[in-house]
């Protein structure tokens, strides 16, 4: 097992298209790191560069102690699970599992033992004689994982392995993956576009957008303390509400509400509040409240999502090539925000709510760069 290090890695395609831009990142030995971001953010390209399936334009990638820029995939001691599984269709499951070991001239007895172990681990014993064409999606996915596991490599690479499974199976496999990692403990780099997967699975997550690393850290840290508006809106579902506020003299004004924050710089500021940071209160509540005009109510069973408009401008920030749909909702001077309520509270559309903001739930961002304004 080994660590993986990206050192100012850049990948440029003819065009020119910059798929990965100056990526510097360490993956510790035994760590489960997730690369997450929207389509086209460069996460798959970064993974493939570690695998050796793409050449590195600039910078270096090291696996363990050696720089592997010019080392062919088969000599890097890695294993990869592809999004579409890439199982050899003309071989049985058993042959698929053992292929890599046989290529490396492992003695036949060892191959058998390891294939048996892995198939027991993944519940594939009954399927060994079948061909991939005869398996279900979930079974194929497990065979793909088995093929990687049986090699006992230094690094595991997984490229959106769950995205072709149906929702229920996906949830099931997520916990299985977690269990496997706890048991095997190998260095793993996992790519996904699903931020829920990222938060639940990863020890650390690295958020990418437009080829640039936005933030890296444990999931809770990235959720609680996003480094910029992109991460703020991408991580967390429903996304963080982002509103336009104005700061004068250490006082932020937002839609009729005021907050004190002595360190905030003068001028326009973006205010981010997660849906769970807003609470409807009664008339007698002291302290600043926002008036929300309820528009849509979504009961989810265990909670209720309320979408409504408030008297503050939405934050329209365009930073980089990320999907503008990630940016705030609303038009003109009235932003649409989302609240999370317990399931028994169900306001009627058209009604008005007084909503209090938990002060520790506010995050501030620079309106020009989008970067978080952090307390010093």
Q: Which is nearer to other proteins, 112 or 253 (CB)?
A: 112
Q: Which is nearer to other proteins, 50 or 341 (CB)?
A: 50
Strands (E), 106-203: 155-159, 187-192
Give the whole-angstrom CA distance, residue 155 versus residue 347. Answer: 51
Tokens of 167: 């929702």
Quote the DSSP letter at residue 372: B
Q: Which is nearer to other proteins, 97 or 292 (CB)?
A: 97
Quote the least distance from Cβ 105 to other proteins, whole Å: 9
Quote the least distance from Cβ 190 to other proteins, whole Å: 16
Quote the least distance from Cβ 90 to other proteins, whole Å: 4
Quote the least distance from Cβ 69 to other proteins, whole Å: 8
For 12, phi then psi, to 5°, come to -120, 130
Quote the least distance from Cβ 33 to other proteins, whole Å: 19
Give the whole-angstrom CA distance, residue 68 versus residue 356. Answer: 54
Mark residue 70 as left, alpha or beta (left: phi above 0; alpha: psi -120 to 50; beta: remaining). alpha
- Tally of residues, the chain: 376
Give the whole-angstrom CA distance, residue 301 versus residue 68. Answer: 50
Q: Which is nearer to other proteins, 97 or 216 (CB)?
A: 97
Q: Which is nearer to other proteins, 156 or 259 (CB)?
A: 156
Tokens of 72: 């062919």
Give the C-alpha distances (Å, rounded to integers) separating 325 from 49, 84, 225, 311. 29, 28, 21, 21
What element of type H or E holds 3? none
For 262, phi then psi, to 5°, come to -60, -20
Q: Which is nearer to other proteins, 86 or 373 (CB)?
A: 86
Quote the least distance from Cβ 203 to other proteins, whole Å: 24
Give the whole-angstrom CA distance, residue 94 versus residue 92. Answer: 5
Q: Which is nearer to other proteins, 103 or 120 (CB)?
A: 103
Residue ranges that bind other proteins, judged by CB under 8 A: 13-15, 17, 51-55, 69-74, 78-80, 82, 84, 86, 88-90, 99-100, 103-104, 131-133, 147, 151
End-to-end Cα distance, the chain? 38
Quote the least distance from Cβ 147 to other proteins, whole Å: 7
Tokens of 349: 């559309």
Tokens of 20: 């990965």
Contact 10, 20 (CB under 8 A): yes
Contact 35, 190 (CB under 8 A): yes
Quote the least distance from Cβ 102 to other proteins, whole Å: 9
Q: Which is nearer to other proteins, 51 or 294 (CB)?
A: 51
């Amino acid at each position: 097992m080994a660590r993986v290090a990206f050192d100012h890695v850049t990948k440029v395609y003819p065009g020119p298209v910059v798929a990965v831009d100056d990526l510097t990142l360490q993956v510790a030995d035994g760590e489960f790191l997730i690369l997450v971001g929207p389509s086209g953010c460069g996460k798959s390209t970064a993974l493939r560069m570690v695998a050796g399936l793409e050449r590195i334009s600039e910078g270096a990638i090291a696996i363990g102690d050696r720089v592997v820029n010019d080392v062919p995939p088969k000599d890097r001691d890695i294993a990869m699970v592809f999004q579409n599984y890439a199982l050899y269709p003309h071989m049985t499951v058993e042959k698929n599992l053992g292929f890599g070991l046989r290529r490396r001239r492992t003695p036949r007895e060892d191959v058998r033992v390891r294939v048996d172990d892995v198939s027991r681990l993944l519940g594939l014993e009954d399927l060994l004689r079948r061909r991939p064409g005869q398996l279900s999606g979930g079974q194929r996915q497990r065979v793909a994982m088995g093929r990687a596991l049986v090699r006992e490599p230094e690094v595991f690479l997984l490229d959106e392995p769950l995205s072709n499974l149906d929702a229920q199976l996906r949830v099931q496999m997520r916990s299985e993956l977690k269990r496997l990692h706890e048991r095997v403990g190998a260095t793993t780099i996992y790519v996904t576009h699903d931020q829920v997967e990222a938060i639940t699975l990863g020890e650390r997550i690295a958020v990418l957008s437009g080829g640039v690393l936005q933030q890296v850290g444990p999931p809770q840290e990235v959720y609680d303390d996003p480094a910029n508006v992109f991460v703020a809106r991408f991580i967390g579902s429903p996304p963080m509400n982002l509103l336009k506020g104005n700061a004068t003299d250490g006082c932020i004004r937002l839609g009729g509400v005021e907050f004190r924050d002595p360190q905030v710089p003068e001028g326009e500021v973006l205010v981010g509040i997660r849906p769970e940071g807003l609470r409807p209160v009664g008339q007698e509540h002291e302290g600043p409240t926002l008036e929300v005009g309820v528009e849509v109510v979504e009961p989810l069973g265990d909670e209720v999502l309320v979408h409504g408009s408030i008297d503050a401008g939405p934050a329209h920030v365009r930073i980089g090539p990320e999907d503008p749909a990630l940016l705030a909702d609303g038009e003109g001077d009235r932003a649409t925000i989302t609240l999370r309520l317990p399931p028994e509270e169900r306001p009627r559309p058209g009604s008005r709510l007084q909503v209090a903001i938990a002060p520790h739930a506010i995050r501030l961002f620079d309106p020009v760069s989008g970067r978080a304004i952090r307390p010093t």
